[in-house]
Amino acid sequence: MIKLSQFGNSVRDKDLEKFKQSDNWDGDKFINLSKTTMDINLSTIPKLLKQNFTNRKERRPKEPIEVNSFDSEKFLSAEKGPKFIWYGHSVLMIHINGVKILIDPMFGSDAAPISPIGSKRFSDNTLSIIDSLPNFDAILITHDHYDHLDLDSIKKLKNKCSKWFVALGVSRHLEQWGVASSEITEFDWWDNINFEGIKITFTPSRHFSGRGLFDRAKSLWGGWVLKTDDHSIYWSGDGGYDNHFEEVGQKLGPFDIGFMECGQYNTHWHQIHMFPEEAVKAAIVSQTKLAIPVHWGAFALALHSWTDPVERFTREATHKGLSFYIPSPGEIFNKERNKQPNNWWKEIE
pLDDT tens digits, 56-99: 678 999 999 999 999 999 999 987 899 999 999 999 999 999 99
Report the pLDDT value the prediction gives residue 1, as an integer from 0 to 100. Answer: 47
Is the pLDDT confidence value at 149 over 80?
yes
Report the pLDDT value the prediction gives residue 53, as an integer from 0 to 100. Answer: 56
User: With bands split at pLDDT 50, 70 and 90, how would you rate the model's confidence at 145?
Assistant: very high
Is the pLDDT confidence value at 141 over 60?
yes
- Which whole number is the average pLDDT over 23-46? 80
Q: Do 285 and 246 touch, CB atoms closer than 8 A? A: yes
Q: Which of 235, 261, 307, 292 is nearest to 65 (CA)?
A: 307
57-70 burial, b at 16+ Cβ within 10 Å, e below that, comes to: eebbbeeebebeeb
Domains and CATH numbers, the chain: 13-59+68-336 (3.60.15.10)
Q: Do 175 and 128 touch, CB atoms closer than 8 A? A: no
Q: Give tens-digit pLDDT for 203-243.
A: 999 999 999 889 999 999 999 999 999 999 999 999 999 99
Burial of 192 (0-12, 13-18, 19+ CB in 10 A): middle
Is the pLDDT confidence value at 105 over 80?
yes
Most confident of 33-37, 257-261, 345-349: 257-261
The C-alpha torsion from 227 through 235 and 217 to 185, rounded to 10°, is -40
Is the pLDDT confidence value at 43 over 70?
no
- Please give the model's pTM, rounded to 2 decimal places: 0.95
**What percent of the chain has a predicted confidence (pLDDT) above 90?**
87
Q: Give me Rg for the CA atoms of the chain.
A: 19
SS3 call for 126: helix
Is the pLDDT confidence value at 41 over 60?
no
Report the pLDDT value the prediction gives residue 40, as an integer from 0 to 100. Answer: 52
Is the pLDDT confidence value at 9 over 90?
yes
Report the pLDDT value the prediction gives residue 114, as an integer from 0 to 100. Answer: 87
Q: Do 168 and 187 touch, CB atoms closer than 8 A? A: yes
Report the pLDDT value the prediction gives residue 49, as an integer from 0 to 100. Answer: 53
